[in-house]
């Protein structure tokens, strides 16, 4: 009844939900090895080369901070402490493998057929599956869902980029430490990776041509990168690489242009990790054969509000779809709702508004709703009110940690009701803080309602319920006292 | 501080009666000196002990044996508290609020006598008065309790490591203290008369107790101490009796920490001289929904209020709103419904709204739906820690669009998780709205 191409967050959720309705469901999943030869099991990007290993390595880096703090709290640890990449990597990789296994068991339990094959369209209801060994299987289905996700792009116009660089696909599976690392370009992936690499003690440099975290609130993005700089990550601003060469002894020499000074500079690194964005995995699907339309610029599959493509009975969800957030939870939700509409007599469509997210940089940034720029553009600066505060987490006091970039900002409509348009939080556990507020925003929360909510003391999140200084007032927004 | 904004002539009298062991502290009240603040900091010290163990699994290497030094921690904590005391004094001065470190008591209508440390008395009159004297720990009333036992009033500045400790009580104070003392490596026993965390969701309370037991904290249930005396030199001998029969047990501990409840500081402040009614049994002051006592010019807020919550943010909110009503023509009253709270036990517990028992009682079991889940924080997977111990449940009112009327989460950073859900409950969130909200991945709150 349903064939899902792609066994990632969206694909698996859709397949399992459809199976609940007693349908005959199959999933095709195949991982084309990266240029460096890295491959992995069932589960998709999130599980294998995304959210999961990223958060675990971020945790390893945060624990460095905990070790430093611990001394202030009375624990006697002899400094310096050392980090061994292979211990961490193996622990993370083992956990990921257990998830691969868990997914296979779940599919089996729910009677979903799993094919470790690369799929391509023969016609609108027929898929040709190819195993690694080249064995072919034809699968036909009433409905097909494309959920093949994306893979990191390489800046192939830069000499040496493909041969000598790695991407996030490889970083989490490295058996040996990446050593002195350069991460050119600044999508959240590169900032998060640069953050934890610095945290575990590696010499890390981020190179950016223009602005960090494009699409995110830029004031918050600067605070995040400012913190990373004070934390030890090196930044090469307004620079872009022009070539990568291999030196004797496996080191890499990178040449770049500094657009401010108009000069050309070089330096040596052990690893260059590209994070220039992700490309949708559509090339081998043979979409032309069935006429599934894609966006000419991005290559992503065009879908309507019900996740339908231009071809009847063919749907698409997750990172592969045009105009959707590239997030695991939205793919999962979209997949489940699609299955319910197809087989469960539901008509509920996916709501992509006010999706909360978190960037897991050393000082985390969680947000939901509009950035300040987007709100100004949408409503006009006179029609919005921005409440903000600089606060200090209690745990930072005894630990003597710098809280300069711990900051909260709430963007509201100025008119009487004062509906909340966007909430931004930088600080520890940002994801935990923002999640509940995202629920409130889903209910149309207003500033007065938030002010009626009593805070939990002592936490960082309570500072959100205490916001009262506006940007417009020009007053000092530093929180003082208890 | 709020009243001063409206250019009112304001005075604050603050005085700390020393504990039976002679301990005292500065301006700021319970939360700052002997409550939330030092508690959370010591809880953090305990959490860091756990983090140290986890970090090895994440690739960190350091000395094999790691020990905790009580004095280092206590000194850091006390330094921070000192800075807060100082901060308050500066804030009061800047706002031109008169502050006196003196014990205040009513001597007649509109008149208070302030007695300082040296016994010097002064009289003050005011148009209005606000009583916010809070509470102090209760003692058992048994032989040896005041001579040998400490309370939370003493613990956070104890000039020596408490060592092998007996915590008497099952309040959140008892469990939080037992939790962090064990977390820094001490041998801890908790003596419980009947149930844990009275007033909280009992299903969750039991899970908290189970977790603590599983992590090395001993529990002696259904016993109460009847005598405390000196045992072998440097050690206290505690004799206890069963609540269910005649069994007597004895135990030896370096420290006995009493955490059996708190009593309102209302009985010795001359309230009878001005006719303010207090609850004879509890000492708490009944007020109307504008925090006014039965005497129109006398108000009360905070822990001393009858039938209200003993929480810092509630007291702060009530105080501010009261002043705005008095001097700024505002009408907003303090909203005591759906006030979130968090218990900072080793496994933290965040809650907002009805417990399951209270919901069943109020709405009937057939009219509520409880959704629940165990979960394993991602950060605990690599160190293979406590799989399936974390837990979350929401209680929905079926007759009202499945509105969420109770939220409970047991897991790390419970306070951070709960705060936003409390805001959502304030907006009347339903199960459907909750389901349509996208999760942030990967976090516990999702």
Per-domain boundaries in chain A: 2-152+279-344, 155-275, 363-473
DSSP letters of A322-381? TTS---HHHHHHHHHHHHHHHHS---PPP--TT--EEE-SSS-EEEEE--HHHHHHHH-G
Say if residues B348 and B342 touch (Cβ distance below 8 Å).
yes
- The whole-number pLDDT of residue A209 equals 85
Q: What is the pairing mode between strands A204-208 and A181-184?
A: parallel
pTM of the complete model: 0.94
Topology classification of domain A2-152+279-344: FAD/NAD(P)-binding domain (3.50.50)
Cα A85 to Cα A200: distance, rounded to the nearest angstrom: 8
Q: Does A461 touch chain B (CB under 8 A)?
A: yes
Cα B20 to Cα B32: distance, rounded to the nearest angstrom: 20
The CATH number of A155-275 is 3.50.50.60
Burial bucket for residue B137 (CB in 10 Å: 0-12, 13-18, 19+): buried
Instruction: Tell which residue, A261, A336, A306, A386, has the closest CA to residue A11.
Output: A336
Place A481 in a pLDDT band, splitting at 50, 70 and 90.
low
Task: Flag whether B9 is marked binding.
Answer: no
Instruction: Tell which residue, A195, A270, A209, A214, has the closest CA to residue A241.
Output: A209
Active-site hit among B215, B372, B408, B441: B441
Residue of chain A nearest B91, judged by CA positions:
A481
Most distant CA atoms of chain A, gap in Å: 69
Query: What pairs with residue B251 in β-bridges?
Result: B238
Cα A333 to Cα A335: distance, rounded to the nearest angstrom: 5
- The whole-number pLDDT of residue B336 equals 86
Say if residues A197 and A83 touch (Cβ distance below 8 Å).
no
Cα A161 to Cα A165: distance, rounded to the nearest angstrom: 5
How far is residue A301 from each of residues A125, A310, A322, A344, measured CA to CA in Å? 17, 9, 6, 25
Task: Flag whether B169 is marked binding.
Answer: yes
Res A482 pLDDT > 60: no
Residue of chain B nearest A73, judged by CA positions:
B73
Of the candidate ranges A6-15, A209-218, B33-42, the one whose mean pLDDT is the lowest = A209-218
| pLDDT tens for each residue of A341-386 | 999 999 999 999 999 999 999 999 999 999 999 999 999 999 999 9
Task: Flag whether B201 is marked binding.
Answer: no
Say if residues A425 and A358 touch (Cβ distance below 8 Å).
no
- Which residues of A, range 386-415, sit inside 8 Å of B by Cβ? 394-395, 397-398
Instruction: Tell which residue, B285, B330, B296, B335, has the closest CA to residue B314.
Output: B335
Q: What is the dihedral of CA A103, A104, A110, A116, to 10 degrees?
A: 120
Angstroms from B138 CA to nearest CA on chain A: 23
Q: Tell me, yes or no, if B441 is annotated catalytic.
A: yes
Nearest to A456 among B66, B71, B415 (CB): B415
Number of C-beta neighbours around residue B81 at 10 A:
22
Interchain contact, B340 vs A456, CB within 8 Å: yes
Nearest to A453 among B379, B422, B443 (CB): B422
Mutate to test the interface with B, among A73, A89, A174, A468 (most CBs of B within 10 A): A73
Most distant CA atoms of chain B, gap in Å: 69
- The whole-number pLDDT of residue B233 equals 86
The CATH number of B138-261 is 3.50.50.60
- The whole-number pLDDT of residue A185 equals 67
| For residues A109-114, average pLDDT | 96
Place A184 in a pLDDT band, splitting at 50, 70 and 90.
confident
Say if residues B367 and B403 touch (Cβ distance below 8 Å).
no
Residues 6+ apart with CB under 8 A from A352: A324, A325, A330
Q: What is the pairing mode between strands A357-359 and A365-369?
A: antiparallel
Res A54 pLDDT > 60: yes
Residue A465 belongs to what H/E stretch?
A: helix A462-465
CATH homologous superfamily for A363-473?
FAD/NAD-linked reductase, C-terminal dimerisation domain (3.30.390.30)
Mutate to test the interface with A, among B315, B320, B416 (most CBs of A within 10 A): B416
Nearest to B434 among A69, A85, A439 (CB): A439
- The whole-number pLDDT of residue A375 equals 97
Find tokens 């030199």 and name the residue. Answer: B233
Q: What is the pairing mode between strands B121-125 and B111-116?
A: antiparallel
| For residues A473-481, average pLDDT | 88
**CA-angle at A277, arms to A49 and A307, nearest 5°:** 80
CATH homologous superfamily for B2-137+263-328?
FAD/NAD(P)-binding domain (3.50.50.60)
- The whole-number pLDDT of residue B419 equals 97
- The whole-number pLDDT of residue A357 equals 96
Interchain contact, A81 vs B378, CB within 8 Å: no
Burial bucket for residue A270 (CB in 10 Å: 0-12, 13-18, 19+): middle
Angstroms from B176 CA to nearest CA on chain A: 14
Instruction: Please report residues of B whose CB lies closer than 8 A to that of A481.
Output: 84, 87-88, 91
Number of C-beta neighbours around residue A420 at 10 A:
25
Find tokens 């993005």 and name the residue. Answer: A221
Instruction: Tell which residue, A46, A21, A11, has the closest CA to residue A334.
Output: A11
Task: Flag whether B158 is marked binding.
Answer: no
| CATH topology match: B2-137+263-328 vs B138-261 | yes
Rounded to the nearest 5°, which phi and psi values hold at B195? -105, 165
Cα B224 to Cα B244: distance, rounded to the nearest angstrom: 10
Helices (H), A81-167: 85-109, 161-164
- The whole-number pLDDT of residue A235 equals 93
Residues 6+ apart with CB under 8 A from A133: none
Nearest to A436 among B73, B314, B418 (CB): B418
How far is residue A477 from each of residues A308, A413, A421, A426, B181, measured CA to CA in Å? 47, 20, 20, 15, 37
Nearest to A63 among B55, B77, B441 (CB): B55
DSSP letters of A177-216? ---SEEEES--HHHHHHHHHHHHTT--EEEEESS-SSTTS
Percentages of chain B per state (helix, strand, coil), in multiples of 5: 35, 25, 40
Task: Extract the residue ranges of chain B whose pLDDT is less than 50.
Answer: none
Cα B308 to Cα B284: distance, rounded to the nearest angstrom: 10
Does 3.40.50.300 match the CATH number of domain B348-436? no
- The whole-number pLDDT of residue A189 equals 78
| Domain layout of chain B by residue ranges | 2-137+263-328, 138-261, 348-436
Residue of chain B nearest A54, judged by CA positions:
B442
Query: What pairs with residue B99 in β-bridges?
Result: B12
3-class DSSP state of A448: helix
Say if residues A178 and A202 touch (Cβ distance below 8 Å).
yes
| pLDDT tens for each residue of A455-466 | 999 999 999 999
| CATH topology match: A2-152+279-344 vs A363-473 | no
Active-site hit among A157, A227, A457, A468: A457
Cis peptide before B73 (omega within 30 of 0): no
Of the candidate ranges A184-188, A363-367, A383-387, A388-392, the one whose mean pLDDT is the lowest = A184-188
Instruction: Please report residues of B whose CB lies closer than 8 A to that of A79.
Output: 62
């Amino acid at each position: 009844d349903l064939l899902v191409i792609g066994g990632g967050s969206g694909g698996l959720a859709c397949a399992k939900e459809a199976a609940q309705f007693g349908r005959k469901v199959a999933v095709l999943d195949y991982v084309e090895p990266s240029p460096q030869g890295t491959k992995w099991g069932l589960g998709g990007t999130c599980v294998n080369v995304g959210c999961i290993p990223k958060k675990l390595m971020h945790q390893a880096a945060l624990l460095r901070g905990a070790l430093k703090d611990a001394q202030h709290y009375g624990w006697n640890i002899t400094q310096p402490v050392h980090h061994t990449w292979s211990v961490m990597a193996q622990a993370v990789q083992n956990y990921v493998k257990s998830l691969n296994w868990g997914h296979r068991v779940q599919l089996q339990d729910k009677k979903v057929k799993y094919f470790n094959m690369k799929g391509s369209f023969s016609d609108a209801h027929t898929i040709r599956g190819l195993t690694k060994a080249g064995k072919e299987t034809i699968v036909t289905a009433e409905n097909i869902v494309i959920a093949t996700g994306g893979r990191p792009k390489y800046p192939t116009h830069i000499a040496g980029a493909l041969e000598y660089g790695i991407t996030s696909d490889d970083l989490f599976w490295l058996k040996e430490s990446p050593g002195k690392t350069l991460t050119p370009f600044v999508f959240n992936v590169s900032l998060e990776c640069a953050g934890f690499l610095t945290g575990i003690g590696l010499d890390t440099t981020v190179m950016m041509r223009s602005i960090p975290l494009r699409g995110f609130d830029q004031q918050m993005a600067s605070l995040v990168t400012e913190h990373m700089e004070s934390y030890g990550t090196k930044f090469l601003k307004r620079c872009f690489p022009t070539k990568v060469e291999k030196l004797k002894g496996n080191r890499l020499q990178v040449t770049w242009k500094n657009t401010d000074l108009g000069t050309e500079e070089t330096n040596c690194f052990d690893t260059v990790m590209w994070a220039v964005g992700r490309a949708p995995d559509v090339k081998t699907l043979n979409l032309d054969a069935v006429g599934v339309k894609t966006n000419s610029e991005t290559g992503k599959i065009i879908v309507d509000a019900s996740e339908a493509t231009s071809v009847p009975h063919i749907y698409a969800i997750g990172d592969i779809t045009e105009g959707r957030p590239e997030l695991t939870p939205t793919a999962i939700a979209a997949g489940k709702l699609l299955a319910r509409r197809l087989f469960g007599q539901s008509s509920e469509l996916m709501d992509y508004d006010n999706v909360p997210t978190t960037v897991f940089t050393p000082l985390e940034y969680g947000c939901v709703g509009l950035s300040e720029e987007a709100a100004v553009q949408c409503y006009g600066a006179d029609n919005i009110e921005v409440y903000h505060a600089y606060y200090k987490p209690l745990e930072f006091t005894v630990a003597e940690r710098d809280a300069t970039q711990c900051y909260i900002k709430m963007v509201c409509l100025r008119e009487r009701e004062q509906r909340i348009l966007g909430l931004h939080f930088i600080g520890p556990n940002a994801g935990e803080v923002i999640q509940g507020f995202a629920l409130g925003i889903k209910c149309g929360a207003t500033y007065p309602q938030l002010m009626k909510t009593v805070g939990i003391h002592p936490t960082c999140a309570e500072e959100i319920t205490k916001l009262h200084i506006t940007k417009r007032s020009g007053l000092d927004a530093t929180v003082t006292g208890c | 501080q709020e009243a001063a904004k409206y250019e009112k002539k304001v005075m604050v009298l603050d005085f700390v009666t020393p504990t039976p062991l002679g301990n005292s502290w500065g301006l700021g009240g319970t939360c700052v000196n002997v409550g939330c603040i030092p508690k959370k900091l010591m809880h953090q010290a305990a959490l860091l002990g756990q983090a140290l163990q986890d970090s090895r699994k994440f690739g960190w290497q350091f000395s094999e044996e790691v020990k905790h030094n009580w004095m280092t921690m206590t000194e850091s904590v006390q330094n921070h508290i000192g800075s807060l005391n100082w901060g308050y004094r500066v804030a009061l001065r800047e706002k031109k609020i008169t502050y006196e470190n003196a014990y205040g008591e009513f001597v007649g209508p509109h008149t208070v006598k302030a007695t300082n440390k040296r016994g010097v008395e002064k009289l003050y009159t005011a148009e209005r008065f606000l009583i916010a004297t809070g509470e102090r720990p209760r003692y058992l009333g048994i032989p040896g309790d005041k001579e040998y036992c400490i309370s939370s009033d003493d613990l956070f500045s104890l000039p020596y490591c408490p060592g092998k400790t007996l915590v008497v009580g099952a309040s959140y104070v008892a469990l939080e203290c037992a939790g962090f003392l064990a977390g820094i490596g001490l041998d801890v026993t908790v003596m419980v008369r009947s149930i844990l965390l009275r007033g909280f969701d009992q299903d969750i309370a039991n899970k908290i107790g189970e977790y603590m037991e599983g992590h090395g904290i001993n529990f002696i249930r259904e016993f109460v101490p009847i005598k405390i005396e000196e045992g072998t030199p440097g050690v206290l001998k505690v004799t206890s009796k069963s609540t269910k029969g005649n069994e007597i047990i004895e135990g030896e501990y370096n420290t006995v920490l009493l955490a059996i409840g708190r009593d309102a500081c209302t009985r010795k402040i001359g309230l009878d001289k001005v006719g303010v009614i207090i609850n004879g049994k509890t000492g708490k002051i009944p007020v109307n929904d504008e925090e006014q006592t039965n005497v129109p010019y006398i108000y009360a807020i905070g822990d001393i209020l009858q039938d209200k919550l003993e929480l810092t943010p509630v007291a702060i909110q009530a105080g501010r709103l009261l002043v705005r009503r008095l001097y700024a023509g505002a009408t907003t009253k303090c909203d005591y419904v759906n006030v979130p709270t968090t218990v900072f036990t080793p496994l933290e517990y965040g809650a907002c709204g009805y417990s399951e028992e209270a919901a069943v009682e109020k709405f009937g079991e057939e009219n509520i739906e409880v959704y629940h889940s165990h979960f394993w924080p991602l950060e605990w997977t690599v160190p293979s820690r406590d799989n399936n111990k974390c837990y979350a449940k929401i209680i929905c009112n079926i007759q009202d669009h499945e509105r969420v009327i109770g939220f409970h989460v047991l897991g790390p950073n419970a306070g951070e998780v709960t705060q936003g859900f409390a805001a959502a409950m304030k907006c009347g969130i339903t199960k459907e709205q909750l389901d349509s909200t996208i999760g942030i991945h990967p976090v516990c709150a999702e």
